[in-house]
Amino acid sequence: MKSIFENEVVPVLKKKLASYPLITVTFHTTGIPESQIQELIGEIEDIAFLPHYTGVDLRISRKTRKEIEEFRKFLKHRLGDAVYGEDSETLEAVVGRLLKNKHLTIGVAESLTGGLVMHRISNVSGSSEYFLGGVVAYSNELKMTLLGVKGETLKRYGAVSKETAQEMVVGIKDATGADIGISTTGIAGPTGGTRGKPVGLVYTTVSGESGIRYEKNLFNGDRLMIKEMSAQKALDMVRIYLLS
């Protein structure tokens, strides 16, 4: 069988495939479930849905660059800002490019993500041009002393709250002098959840010239998954903020 494959099948495949060269592109989306993507774009031939818990990739093969460009425009029209990159492009690289293009800097305040947001930002070559630094403040004491979160806020609303997240993001902007600030606070689990604040409850916040925006998220998964989804959401909020 090996001899037949090498001497008979491979030459035939090479001949046939040479007549039909294909261009393959993978589009990256985040913040939108696979089911909604299917509803928005309908039935399309030769497209592969590659879902993972931080987003859905769409891989498509076409014969010409023109066909790829037509699909790119169609996808952008149907999915809008949910599409953030292509092929090897990462979300943190996209955010970095936007920051550089707008000549803006960023500072990060993290609780549950434990430095994961900063890790991803600093993974991009040249990130020192826009990434000033950040603080990982797990304890309430550090949230108060390093980020300026009020003791009254922590007592009244708790560490996992929109109020604390907003004070964290203001604090990191003040501490670093950054144009853009982001913060994360939540419960990664598997312990620590309550009926009012279950495991997976995460507040992600971004602040800039246009004010403060926050999102209340409820993620499902194990501890690492929740941390990774939280970091993804925080970075995507910065992307959307910069685009708007």
> pLDDT tens across 185-225, in order?
999 999 999 999 999 999 999 999 999 999 999 999 999 99
Same domain, 44 and 130: no
> pLDDT tens across 153-178, in order?
999 999 999 999 999 999 999 999 99
Q: State which residues form the domain around 95.
A: 91-243
Boundary of a domain, candidates 86, 113, 148: 86
Question: Is the pLDDT reported for residue 19 higher than 70?
Answer: no
Same domain, 223 and 204: yes
- pLDDT value of position 107: 98
> pLDDT tens across 69-120, in order?
999 999 999 999 999 999 999 999 999 999 999 999 999 999 999 999 999 9
- pLDDT value of position 46: 87
* CA pseudo-torsion sign 141, 117, 239, 230: negative
Assign residue 33 the CATH number of its domain. 3.30.70.2860
* Longest Cα–Cα distance in the chain: 78
Q: Are strands 131-136 and 106-110 parallel, antiparallel or unpaired?
A: parallel
Question: Is the pLDDT reported for residue 18 higher than 80?
Answer: no
For 14, the 3-state DSSP assignment is: helix
The percent of the chain in helix, strand and coil, each rounded to the nearest 5, is 50, 25, 30
How many independent structural domains does the chain possess?
2
- pLDDT value of position 22: 85
Boundary of a domain, candidates 37, 64, 86: 86
Residue 41: band (very low, low, confident or very high) from pLDDT cuts 50, 70, 90: very high
> pLDDT tens across 124-157, in order?
999 999 999 999 999 999 999 999 999 999 999 9
Q: Are 228 and 53 in contact (CB under 8 A)?
A: yes
Model confidence, pTM: 0.91
The burial of 161, by beta-carbon neighbours within 10 Å (0-12 exposed, 13-18 middle, 19 or more buried), is given as buried
Question: Is the pLDDT reported for residue 16 higher than 80?
Answer: no
Same domain, 207 and 141: yes
List, in sequence order, every residue forming a beta bridge with 208; answer none if it has no partner: 211
DSSP state of 27: E
Residue in 234, 244, 241 with CA at minimum distance from that of residue 92:
234
- pLDDT value of position 14: 82
Burial code of 165-197, b = ≥16 C-beta within 10 A, e = fewer? bbbbbbbbbebbebbbbbbbbbbbbeeeeeeee
Boundary of a domain, candidates 27, 58, 86: 86
Q: What average pLDDT score do residues 2-24 get?
A: 86
For 111, the 3-state DSSP assignment is: coil
Same domain, 99 and 11: no
Same domain, 67 and 7: yes
